[in-house]
Amino acid sequence: MSLYQMQKFLFDINRDPAVQQRFLVERTQVLSVYDLTLEERDAIIAGDIGLLYVLGANGQLLMHYAALLGMEWSAYIAAMREGVRKYGPVRAGLYSMTTGLEEKVADV
């Protein structure tokens, strides 16, 4: 259930400006209501988009979350590739990587 919980957090923060504001000042407290593994919790707190991607976060949730963190498009794509390089293939979900680590599909 924890992937569900991690995605629930992303859903909540993406759509609710109040959660966004609270998360800026009290990350740990905001996360305390979600049943997360330590790895998921640390990845969110660190803003580790690559690890969240590898853990199976749905790309449509992750993409908007990355934008919320102020990541440019090319940085977001690079962060996911770096996540796969560092942590291995995507472990769950539908948004696995099918291209090579050195492949820049749209030149980014």
Partner 1 sequence: MSLVFAGIVSHAPGITGRAQMGDAGIVQEFHSAFRSLGERLAESRPDALVVVSAEHFANFFMNNMPAFAVGMADHYEGPIEDPAWLGIARTKVPGDAKLSLRLIREIMQTVDVAYAEEWKFDHGIMVPLHFLTPRYDVPVIPVNINCQGPPLTPLHRAWAFGEAIRRAADSLPQRIALVGAGGISHWPATPDSGRINEAWDREFLASWAANDKAAMLSYTDEATYRDAGQGGFEIRAFIAVAAAARGRGTVQHYRPIPIFAVGCTVAAMNIGE
If the CB atoms of residues 43 and 50 are measured against partner 1, the closer one turns out to be 50
Joined together, the tokens standing for residue 33 give: 């209501």
Specify whether the CB–CB gap between 59 and 95 falls below 8 A. yes
Radius of gyration of the chain (CA): 14
Nearest-approach distance from CB 72 to partner 1, in angstroms: 9
Choice between 28 and 99, CB closer to partner 1: 99
In the complex, which residues of this chain contact partner 1 (CB under 8 A)?
Answer: 4, 7-8, 10-11, 14-15, 53, 58-64, 67-68, 73, 77, 80-81, 84, 94-99, 105-108
Minimum separation from the CB atom of position 43 to partner 1 (A): 17
Rounded Cα gap, residues 23 and 56, in angstroms: 22
Q: Which residue's CB is nearer to partner 1, number 25 or number 70?
A: 70
| Closest alpha carbon to 36 in 10, 83, 4 | 4
